[in-house]
Structure 1
Amino acid sequence: MATAATALLVPVSGTSLGGTPRKNTGLPAAVRKAVGAIEDRTPAHRDRAIDGLRALALLAVPTGHWLLGGFTLDAGGALHNASPLSAFGALAPASWVLQMLGIFFLVGGYASVLSWRRATGRGESTTRWLGGRLVRLGRPVLGVTAVWAAMLPVLHGLGVPEATLRTGATLVIQPLWFVGVYAAVTALTPYCVRAARRMGAWAAAPLLAAVAVVDFLRYGPLADAMPSWLSLLNLLPGWMFAYQLGVSWGERRLGRAAARWLLLGGAALFAALLVFFHYPASMVGVPGVSRTNSHPPSLLVLALAAAQSGAAILLRDRLARLLRRPALWAPVVVINLSAMTILCWHQTALLSAAVPASFLGHLPGLTVAPDSPGWVLVRLAWLPVFAAALLLIGRTTRRFEAPWTGVTRWWRALAAVLAAAFAVFALGLA
């Protein structure tokens, strides 16, 4: 993982797909070898644009969490979550750029329909296809939660305050909600395919309408009479919207003309919701603010997803040409191969710096409250440190993505018990 990842830092070199030699510009031999090996092993039919979009959406997750998530240090030396968005509302547009789950679900729907079609074409049942995909999603989640459950008593014994451990557990488990939602949406792939074949791109419209109705009920004139659980009705249709667009795209029922309408219509709806209906500007939750766009998704999230999906479809060919360059393609492959590792362990990378720093006192950009412009600049300087920590952690933890061959059922049962215990702790149930 580390060798190939260094390709992120180097310019294009080596040999193009067409066999035209490119001039080497002093690249280390190991880097050239890694880039060349990845290029040689890439099948000619590989859709590089789809992988590129997935990698972009994946990288936005840790970048957003690292940039928009801070800490405060209490008198007892314990860490508590804080956000620069609480003090600087002007940073909200950054969340528009970094909130790329719409693209992730779009690409997920596209890739799932192709994978499902190949599986059923060779006689594999839908149940077996779905089981394989769910197992691949579940292994890394089980791994990170089990490891953290084992680490908690050790860290507490080393003097880490319980409040810090709860803060860390909350950060670790927060991104994992995505896996559960993604698994549920993936299970509905056959039904999404049927809808796409009947309605094309319009198959996503009922999902948009459902979210709009729930938003009207919970934010409109009848809001005071609505139950608190009403917003949960947006959870599935909200995140399924872009996935359904991706399925329609994979079924070739969503072309460039429809993509233009998605881009323009999504952008117009996004602006209208902000200006006329006063939706919160931030795409992520802000401490102390009761109304949020993402948990569960509001109509603003779907408007952004529509615009992002339209732009992604329109830029697909250009991105595919760009990724024919071996040194740009290599990091995309590495990121995709480590997708669940990045998702599951990026908050651990942040905590690996913040928890030791909490023993040193108030460290700018890390344990100092994110309430000044200087904090933002210093936090930007911390990002490479977090990335390096994730790379080191990922070298060991990426094995959780691979099949757990040689692991007995007793060890798997123990991992499940530890994972459940961690979830109880992280959710504040114990």
Structure 2
Amino acid sequence: MKTSASELAAATPAHRDRYIDLLRAASLGTVVLGHWLMAAVTAEGDGRAQVGNLLAVEPRLQPVTWLLQVMPVFFFVGGFSHALSYRSLRKRAGAGAGAGDGGAEVRTGLYPAFLRARLQRLLRPTMVFIAVWAAGALAVQLLGGDGPLTDVAARLVAQPLWFIGIYLAMVAFTPPLLRLHERYGWGAFGALAGAAAAVDVLRFGFGVPYVEFLNFAFVWLAVHQLGFLRADGRLSAAGLRVPASLALCGLAGAAALVAFGPYPLSMVGMPGEKVSNMAPPTLALLFHGLWLTGAVELLRAPAARLLARPRVWRGVVVANGVAMTAFLWHLTAMLGVYGLLLALDVPLPAPATPAWWAQAPVRMAAAAALTALLVAAFRRFERPAAARPRAGAGASGARPTGAVARRASSPAAAAGVTLCLLGVLGLSMVGFGGLLDGRTALLIAVHITAPAAVAMAVFGWLLVETAGRRTLRP
């Protein structure tokens, strides 16, 4: 039976950290609005459309990325949630709460159960998105359909999947990194931050090739580690002192690196840039994540008072219930609006001109309306799958007390999340265009095609689901 948002809001336990839910929804919403605003679509003389970046057309706007680049906040929130979820499962499975108890966690099958629990609401809507776009792109190619935005849309809509791939890695590495956190605390974060700094020294100071790609792990996992610290109360243990220090040091560090180092001003990637703070991440982006983490923690108390209001909290519950679906489909909606404008021969003003700014609110409102329709169509896949009653379960379908665990396959789960991660990242690079043409993109020194990426993602997801569906031994 479906539960309404009002019922969910009313049933929220008193101990739930509502601010985390607000940050999760607000960070994804900010990314969506940023993408809609920054897209600069122009029509070429041959009728084809090109999608550029407003920040490249108007570089004076690049400082706004220091506010709109909020992916570090989402990954910080993820660290907090993953720590609580893993500890809860570990306690129920009887694997022990102490650090270094990895052997018991493997024996009880805790790892695959954790992966499935954390990834279900992420991967189910993602796989539906991939299936719909792959089928649509294949149909267009087989039927010879072509339009001014067809090729660019098939490539562009897949790009945000990089975020899914990074998030998969964070979930996969949560158990060992959480054990390191429980043993070393701030030292574990410091080690990751130090590794990120060392990578940039090797990259910019000594010209070591390919080393920069290690910062996809070190930078984002360091931000994720801050979420572990928050889960332990270490960011608020001294009042506002720690958040204020993070905000000031992060902002000063990022500003110094941009002013005196080889780092660009923009905290998002720019077309044609030799160096990007995003791909791969740099030390400047890590400092940016520090200042954002400190800033949102400084707003924690006033936000908590606001979230105590029932109407506000209901809005957050609704937003969280569809946030991932909206994120996956928002570029589809935006390009659909531009496609309609081109089909109707509506003039597209030059980016950053007064006419372009005057048209922007209308385009964004139309994109929001189309996103809402897509969310209505696909939001059911974001809901967790209902648990099936098992033999010996009570009438309600719940498992008997103590029957939390039975053996499950940790190696299969690890292989599954790895395959899914590589498939999703590969798809974000190659896109859905030319599925039958053998187009490739370079993924960690290996050329990958879109069909191969789709197959890896789907097969990996099925492995995670199969391994995690088995219950754990008590």
Q: TM-score range by the shorter chain?
A: 0.7 to 0.9
Structure-2 change in CA distance of 1:240 and 1:396 (3 Å): same
Is 1:216 matched up with 2:194? no
| TM-score w.r.t. length of structure 2 | 0.74
Residues 125-154 of structure 1: CA deviation (Å, up to 9, x unaligned): 133112332333221111111101222255
Structure 1 CA distance for aligned equivalents of residues 135 and 48 of structure 2? 20
Q: Normalising by the residue count of structure 1, what TM-score does the alignment of the two structures yield?
A: 0.81
Q: Report what 2:24 is aligned to.
A: 54
Out of 180, 187, 200, the residue aligned to residue 165 of structure 2 is 180
Q: Does 1:194 align with 2:182?
A: no
Separation in structure 1 between the aligned mates of residue 48 and residue 425 of structure 2, nearest angstrom: 25
Aligned pairs for 1:222-241 within 5 A:
222-223=206-207, 226-227=208-209, 229-241=210-222
Q: Measure, in 2, the Cα distance between the counterparts of 1:396 and 1:421.
A: 26
The separation in 2 between residues aligned to 1:86 and 1:325, in whole angstroms, is: 41
Amino acid at match of 2:245: W
Query: How far, CA to CA, are the matches of 1:421 and 1:175 in structure 2?
Result: 12
Q: Which residue number corresponds to residue 310 of structure 2?
A: 326
The alignment status of 1:160 with 2:166, answered yes or no, reads no
Q: Is 2:375 aligned against 1:389?
A: no
Cα offset, 1:48, TM superposition:
0.9
Which residues of 2 match residues 46-85 of structure 1 at below 5 A?
Answer: 46-85=16-55
Q: Return the match for 1:205 from 158, 166, 190.
A: 190
> Aligned pair count?
380
The corresponding residue for 1:23 is: none
Is the 1:82–1:369 Cα contact (8 Å) retained in structure 2?
Answer: no
The separation in 1 between residues aligned to 2:228 and 2:6, in whole angstroms, is 33
- Matched position secondary structure for 2:301: helix
Q: State the secondary structure of the residue aligned to 2:266.
A: coil
Unaligned runs of 5+ in 2: 94-107, 388-419, 434-438, 441-448, 450-474
Name the counterpart of 2:91. 121
> Which residue matches 2:464?
none
Whole-angstrom distance in 1 between the partners of 2:83 and 2:9? 26
User: 8 Å contact 1:113–1:251 — kept in the other structure?
Assistant: no
Q: CA deviation at 1:396?
A: 0.6
Identity %: 37
CA RMSD between the two structures: 2.7
Indicate the larger mover: 382-391 or 73-82: 73-82
**Structure 1 residue corresponding to 2:287, chosen from 303, 308, 312:** 303
SS of the aligned residue for 1:188 comes to helix
Task: Determine the structure 2 residue equivalent to 1:12.
Answer: none
Deviation, structure 1 residue 79: 2.0
User: Greater CA deviation, 296-305 or 376-385?
Assistant: 376-385
Segments of structure 1 that go 5 or more residues without pairing to the other structure are 5-33, 407-415
Which protein is richer in helix relative to its size? Answer: 1
Match of 2:404 in 1: none
Letter in 1 for 2:255: A
The Cα shift of 1:292 comes to 1.0
**Aligned mates of 2:427, 2:234 — CA distance in 1:** 43
Equivalence for 1:263 = 247
The answer (yes or no) to whether the contact 1:35–1:327 under 8 Å persists in 2 is no
**In 1, distance between residues paired with 2:140 and 2:181?**
50
